């Protein structure tokens, strides 16, 4: 599981979202719409993605 990666893309704007949701998006390393990052597939990252699932697209 340590070598697994997931690709997370910000597909919706963070404007109008709550402060903790913005912090979660920033914590994932996403900066702008259509920005994609590749992250380790860990429980912590999965939890962050689930928290802002309506803003991001997850592959992998």
* pLDDT per position as a tens digit, 6-59: 999 999 999 999 999 999 999 999 999 999 999 999 999 999 999 999 999 999
Provide the domain count of the chain. 1
Q: What CATH number does the domain containing 54 carry?
A: 3.30.1390.20
> Which of 18, 6, 1 is closest to 46 using CA atoms?
6
User: Do strands 36-40 and 56-59 pair parallel, antiparallel, or not at all (unpaired)?
Assistant: unpaired
The confidence score (pLDDT) of residue 13 equals: 97
* Buried/exposed code over 25-51 (b: 16+ C-beta within 10 A; e: otherwise): beebebeeeeeeeebeeeeebeebbeb
Strand order of the β-sheet with 56-59 is 36-40, 5-10, 56-59
pLDDT at residue number 47: 98
pTM of the model: 0.91
pLDDT attached to residue 4: 93
């Amino acid at each position: 599981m340590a070598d697994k990666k997931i690709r997370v893309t910000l597909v919706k704007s963070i404007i109008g979202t709550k402060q903790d949701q913005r912090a979660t998006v920033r914590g994932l390393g996403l900066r702008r719409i259509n920005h994609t990052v590749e992250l380790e597939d860990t429980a912590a990252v999965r939890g962050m993605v689930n928290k802002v699932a309506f803003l991001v697209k997850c592959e992998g």
